[in-house]
Amino acid sequence: MLQKPIAVFILLSLLTTVTFAAVKSGPFLHLPLDEGSGTPKDLSDNQFKAEMSKAAPKWVDGGHPQVKKALEFDGTSNFVKIDMEGQGKDIDSHYHPAKGLSICAWVKVIKTGTDKHGQTRQPIVMKGAGGQWEFALLVYDDLSAGMSVWTCPGSGVSEPSGGKIGTGWHFQCGTFNTTEGVKVYLDAAKTPVAEAEPKADAIPCETGKRPVFIGHREDGQFLNAAIAQVMIWDRIISLDEMGMAMEGISTAVEAEEKLATAWSRIKVLR
């Protein structure tokens, strides 16, 4: 049996290696949606300002180990809006379809089909409208998880759906680039629940200037769900990063803080 000091050293070394190897550059946008009051804050280096709809979503207790607080959207009028273009730094200056895109969020669906829009899916995260359609992370009426990437006119480049997100908390991620197309993951599982290669000759839109919306699509769709920890990267994240984001680590700084906490707990075991 290993002596405690040796075991502690090995465990700490493993934590350091896994943590810092997995975390690369942080998300382009990171809205924890865990403030519990007021307006959501972007924790990314960009520090985008968010605003809530006039009929604001309500703050609720998450009731989950990784979701202490969340915003609950009523499925008819609530949203959070981030007008990146109006703040002088649009995601499109960084999002290049060949390089990729990743979107993740904790989602607890309450009910689907509440917006009377007529489509069979509602957005968790959405960007696009009026000839500037870009991408969305989606929940379908049958509770499957999906992601869409479009051409600017709005035809699908890659938009699969699959799995069952159910009505409890799940961590949903979607990744895309022009080589692999879209892959959708639930709870950081290593196998996607849905994937689709990009359609031939379909050019992804990367010139749109529309805001990013949480829980809403500009032509009338709304999602009835609680949402937390919304993150967007301007690249495809690794499965290790996805798992760490699910655990609440999205940057090297956060990794260092988590490591310090782990170390303090380890010392108690010595």
User: Using N-to-C axis directions, what is the helix angle for 4-22 and 252-269, rounded to 10°?
Assistant: 170
CA 67 to chain centre: 14
| pLDDT band per the 50, 70, 90 thresholds, residue 95 | confident
- Write the pLDDT tens digit of every residue in 9-28: 433 443 444 444 445 679 99
Write out pLDDT tens, residues 99-133. Answer: 999 999 999 999 999 998 889 999 999 999 999 99
Domains of the chain: 1-23+251-270 (no CATH), 25-249 (2.60.120.200)
What is the tens place of the pLDDT at every residue in 136-159? 999 999 999 999 999 999 999 999
Residue 270: predicted pLDDT: 46
What are the φ and ψ backbone dihedral angles of 148, each rounded to 5 degrees? -125, 140
Burial (CB < 10 A; 0-12, 13-18, 19+), residue 95, is: buried
DSSP character at residue 93: G
Residue 120 to residue 142: CA distance in whole angstroms? 8
SS3 30: strand
